[in-house]
Structure 1
């Protein structure tokens, strides 16, 4: 039956974006023509790859559009929320009535006047959905449809995230993993932002370069040259945090090519022309070598 419900969602639903993904995720769980299914908020987040707030907003939008109902008087397994697709239920009932005698009969498209069938609670019990038996001491479930009686949304900030700075002096860095030299502007309006020229390579970046083999690959002088090149190319960038500059610097160092040993001098061969002057590019040096080879006598003249 979930196939028929999904077909209704694909063909007749007006939902878009996250709301459509949430609707299809619930439709995929529909066991019968009543179009009732249970789903936890976590499972919908995992299926749609959306945040908690995005899923809640999608459920609200679907409820306002009349394509989804939150059945607060029913409970799913582990007290999960129970949903119904009323328009899909009305459509399936309409199709079943029209094709009762003729399976190939034409069915008119869904209309707002199509009646929604009454729920059969006994049939819902087979799928783990039961009427809610709540004691007076149980807290009320939060209404995700945004009704006026719904309690205010709770603060979703994890309890371990600090909303105020750590105790200490004003000049101390808030992020303990960043050295003070990269946070010298933390007292002004742009707290924690610095330019690429002022940013200093910290011990963490040096340890990373050594552990990843970049220090051995480039050498100490090569690493210094790569750092200077990085600062030249980042001179016109807007200030960033120390962590952002560190990540950008590591990406740059990882892409740097290892210095290759000097190639043999082709101009040292007998009969060759004088060695190329310093400053020739590799292409110019190769062209000069080819011209020297053409000028050499071959004995076949």
Structure 2
């Protein structure tokens, strides 16, 4: 049936230029003798190779001339606009009536009837096969459903009322704290990133047990262990704060390299290592002095611990 609508445009429409191309594009989608079609501005602009503003002006021209009729009660595929070629629909209906008269078997002379100037009533049920249907009437604001997503794009989750604060008074704002968390070193802080200066870190029970199990307490003694701890804190005073676990590992490494009291090392030599002397210091042999200097060099902090 689209061929009948196109033939009418070619033979009877007075449209010209872009308006004629637009009308032919609409007629090309006619599905049946009702001469109803659908189109969007973008699709018409693409098919006619014209701008959207030019297509809009052509549609206005066709509507004013009566070659085209816009049916607002219907909607096409993808919510496109539905049009009808009323003059073409009248011509197609008249041709169908003439065909029926010619095919009649009776010999009664047909009576000439004046051509109708009104297009036949639409059969909407027949248009559904072409994706054309009645436009849905929007519900009233009072009964309409609320949109699933707010216009601002934010979540519609209801905020907590002001002044409610923390409903559980016995629970800290940051969450339930681990009962085994040492308050001194803050090793298991709920924030997960607690750091302390070296001077604030204290030897925890696990580290103290480590010194006994590894034999460092017996090797250094209580006094030697205290001196080694003081030396470690003096060397680490200028370091950036670290977590308790990092300080514990660094402290253990320091203690493992620390010499027992009475065993000289570079830090125990006069002048910070005996560098100013020409011979062995403290009654050590040259080999013992060299070994002490080597151990002291290994113990010396590099700033990268």
Rg larger for: 2
TM-score between both structures, scaled by the size of structure 1:
0.42
